[in-house]
Structure 1
């Protein structure tokens, strides 16, 4: 297990470095002059040059990249060229919002998918199964930003049950915090839960209809629920784990749009603002964090494979 983790971490390091280089190159290729944006459109050329020197933009691009990389490795993430605040401070303020959204959306999506898929797979083709499949396909066809607006119209505007924008820190009260994150969390969790439910239901039905071990369990007199939970689900969980690992990156990336819609002060909103202002230090670390979450989520999936089935031998791969 330790060798598996060490190999995956060694693979992740050059991947994350390549992502940081790509982001830096794309930011450099963007049109516009960040020094001019910072100084203001009415600034003189001398003022713009002074801002450019203060931002380090007078140095070669490769020198600025390696300066950022060395600083990041030593704990100095630099300062935002827009607000002037340390990037580490911005991350400390913004990251709890994003990670709370991602965690709750992940838990709710699986909380929806597992029981729904199990109930639908128990009687494939039945009334509940058909309702689930039609509902899942309908909700999957709705983009999360459209679903977010529909949730706002229903629960914030019409029913006035929940706030439509803003975030309340948990320090100000757990219930107020949950009220502020319910709508954005549901906007991310519902489509994902529908996707997981459809995938898991299909795999469970295939296992129940064609797997030899299911016939053996039936011959032993085991009940259908016990076969479904103890045998079919255990094998289907491998495919579900793979899908979950691949979707973590999409879930984290989805916060960029959701945080804008609900005015949530998280990393997604911070990164989007940084892109518009060409705030390289902010954008690079935000993308780096998103990429690291996706990479280490896949590492966690690999470890869970070995936990679920000790017969798997990664050493031979």
Structure 2
């Protein structure tokens, strides 16, 4: 009965009150979600913004120097845990060179520059493994399409330039697989925020979840899990909708 009462309240936006502080959970989640949203957004922009051009350049001349170097970086990045990378970033850019703060968070309303500086290192710690994975995945798919698909051969026979074949034809089809991988990786990305936010003392959902687990605040824990689950479902729904945008032949609905 207690769970059913909580579920009825959750439908209307009332996720209950904290067992420890007695405060309503929903306003706290909204405040913490803004921090985690900024962190995840920066990580996505950095990872995809770098992975796409690097993969295109690597696939343009496969097995050349740039391709081999990018694959070396990708394998290295995938071999390093994000929390280890976070500590290395703090040691190098915060302690050694004092370019970025090691801990703390500056709200966007106070200072745009301070906000970006406070999120730079944690965003890189999350984004770099994703960048390595996306680069390796996209490069492999692009090379497979350039070497084995009939529509690529047809485009080349028509006199289409190599860059246009790569960007307009191969990348358009490879983007379907990339979107699927991005949607599926969101759960891993959310899990990474729990550790990264704790290392950099960011007041986000990940830190709130860990604190609630340590204090046995089950109401906050289940509220955080619900938010994470909703975000994961919405991300996969958005990926399905993007399929129809990229390929008009894909339609959802009954005939």
Alignment of 1:9-48 (within 5 A): none
After TM superposition, give the deviation of residue 316 of structure 1 in Å.
7.4
1:113 to 38, 51, 55: 51
2:163 to 215, 225, 231: 225
Alignment of 1:51-200 (within 5 A): 63-200=1-138
CA contact (8 A) 1:68 1:281 kept: no
**2:134 alignment partner, SS class:** helix
After TM superposition, give the deviation of residue 307 of structure 1 in Å.
1.5
**1:200 alignment partner, SS class:** helix
1:269 maps onto 2:207 in alignment: yes
**1:170 alignment partner, SS class:** coil
After TM superposition, give the deviation of residue 74 of structure 1 in Å.
2.4
After TM superposition, give the deviation of residue 313 of structure 1 in Å.
4.5
Runs (5+) with no aligned partner, structure 2: none
1:241 maps onto 2:209 in alignment: no
Equivalent residue, structure 2, for 1:311: 249
Q: TM-score, normalised by structure 2?
A: 0.97
Give the distance between the partners of 1:272 and 1:72, measured in 2 at CA: 21
Give the distance between the partners of 1:183 and 1:204, measured in 2 at CA: 31
Give the distance between the partners of 2:32 and 2:251, measured in 1 at CA: 40
Runs (5+) with no aligned partner, structure 1: 1-62
Give the distance between the partners of 2:243 and 2:136, measured in 1 at CA: 21
Q: TM-score, normalised by structure 1?
A: 0.78
After TM superposition, give the deviation of residue 168 of structure 1 in Å.
0.5
Q: Which has the larger radius of gyration?
A: 1
Alignment of 1:208-223 (within 5 A): 208-223=146-161
How many matched pairs? 255
1:141-170, CA deviations, whole angstroms, 9 ceiling, x for partnerless residues? 000000000000000010111100010101
CA contact (8 A) 1:144 1:187 kept: yes
2:222 to 261, 276, 284: 284
Equivalent residue, structure 1, for 2:197: 259
Give the distance between the partners of 2:254 and 2:89, measured in 1 at CA: 49
What value does the CA root-mean-square deviation take over the aligned residues? 1.3
